[in-house]
């Protein structure tokens, strides 16, 4: 499963990228607004940091406006993917953009029927929001399972980006289902690697090594640390 970071914050992107495990970035108007800087300039900086797909969302709601905005956003960098809300106007725009080879990520997807239609419109990615479904007592992960099944039934190539991830279990469940991508906020990425037994294990190994060092046996060995 590919790992995207869900943020518009450059420091977070740099930190995740430095781990060498980052495959892409998703942004949205809320995340860009948080940064309080020019969004286009920020997207340019993000695209220069990360080689993989970087999603930039349109604000327009009508198909014509979405297409025009998408073409402008696509000029930012070759790795820009246009994020479009899952609406009837969004579908029309997606069909048009797909015929022009402009990549799209259909966002705010909350049902299998929506996911099937966006695939038919030629979307490259679909973003079902698991956390926001959980928030209203629907099973977000069940939606991912269902979309995966339907896409498999018809050999659909639209990639599933599990979005609105709130904790590591969402990430693990997404991988168990076989989702293509998980887009994860930085605070969750940090938690993915943590395990108290790893920390306890390192502490114990170092203590035991220290004990061995005191015996002088280690000074005769080639490994002297
Ligand atoms: C996805 O692309 C969205 O940017 C994001 O995952 C939304 O997450 P939220 O529900 O935490 O705002």
Residue 59, pLDDT score: 98
Distance CA 3, CA 126 (A): 15
Report the run of H or E that residue 120 belongs to, with start and end. helix 112-120
Distance CA 102, CA 99 (A): 8
Count of C-beta atoms within a 10 Å radius of residue 131? 15
Using DSSP's 3-state secondary structure scheme, residue 124 falls into: coil
- The mean per-residue pLDDT over the stretch 175-202 comes to 98
> Which residues contact residue 114 at a Cβ distance below 8 angstroms, ignoring those fewer than 6 apart?
86, 106
Distance CA 33, CA 220 (A): 60
For residue 114, give the nearest of 135, 133, 137, 134 by alpha carbon.
Answer: 133
pTM (2 d.p.)? 0.94
Residue whose CB lies within 8 A of the most ligand 1 atoms, among 163, 184, 188, for a mutation test: 163
Residue whose CB lies within 8 A of the most ligand 1 atoms, among 126, 131, 138, for a mutation test: 131
Q: Whose CA is nearest to atom 7 of ligand 1?
A: 164
Which residues lie with the beta carbon below 6 Å from any ligand 1 atom? 6, 26, 28, 107, 127, 129, 131-132, 163-164, 183
Average pLDDT, the chain: 96
List strand residue ranges (DSSP E) for the chain, in order: 2-6, 24-26, 54-57, 80-85, 104-109, 125-128, 159-162, 181-184
> Which residues contact residue 38 at a Cβ distance below 8 angstroms, ignoring those fewer than 6 apart?
none
The 10s digit of each residue's pLDDT in 148-175 is 999 999 999 999 999 999 999 999 999 9
Residue 217, pLDDT score: 77
Residue 28 has pLDDT above 70, yes or no: yes
Residue 224 has pLDDT above 80, yes or no: no
CATH number of 2-195: 3.20.20.70
Residue 86 has pLDDT above 90, yes or no: yes
Residue 211 Cα distances to 126, 203, 204, 205, angstroms: 55, 12, 11, 10
Distance CA 201, CA 197 (A): 6
Q: Which ligand 1 atom is the nearest neighbour of the CA of 183?
A: 6
Contact between 121 and 88 (Cβ < 8 Å):
no
Residue 113 Cα distances to 128, 143, 171, 193, 224, angstroms: 12, 10, 23, 35, 63
The 10s digit of each residue's pLDDT in 191-222 is 999 999 999 999 999 999 999 988 877 766 66
Higher pLDDT, 222 or 123: 123
């Amino acid at each position: 499963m590919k790992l995207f970071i869900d943020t518009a914050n450059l420091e977070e992107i740099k930190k995740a990228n430095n781990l060498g495990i980052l495959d892409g970035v998703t942004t949205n108007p809320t995340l860009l607004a948080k940064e309080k800087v020019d969004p286009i300039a920020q997207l340019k900086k993000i695209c220069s940091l990360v080689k993989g797909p970087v999603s930039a969302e349109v604000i327009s709601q009508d198909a014509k406006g979405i297409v025009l905005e998408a073409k402008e956003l696509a000029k930012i960098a070759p790795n820009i993917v246009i994020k479009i809300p899952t609406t009837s106007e969004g579908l029309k725009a997606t069909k048009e953009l797909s015929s022009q080879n402009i990549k799209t990520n259909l966002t705010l997807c909350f049902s299998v029927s929506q996911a099937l239609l966006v695939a038919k419109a030629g979307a490259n990615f679909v973003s079902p929001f698991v956390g926001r479904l959980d928030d209203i007592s629907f099973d977000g992960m069940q939606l991912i399972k269902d979309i995966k099944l339907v896409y498999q039934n018809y050999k659909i190539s639209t990639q599933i980006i599990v979005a609105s991830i709130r904790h590591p279990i969402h990430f693990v469940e997404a991988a168990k289902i076989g989702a293509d991508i998980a887009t994860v906020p930085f605070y969750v990425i940090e938690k993915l690697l943590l395990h108290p037994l790893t920390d306890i294990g390192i502490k114990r190994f170092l203590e035991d090594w220290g004990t061995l060092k005191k015996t002088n046996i280690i000074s005769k060995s080639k490994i002297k640390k």
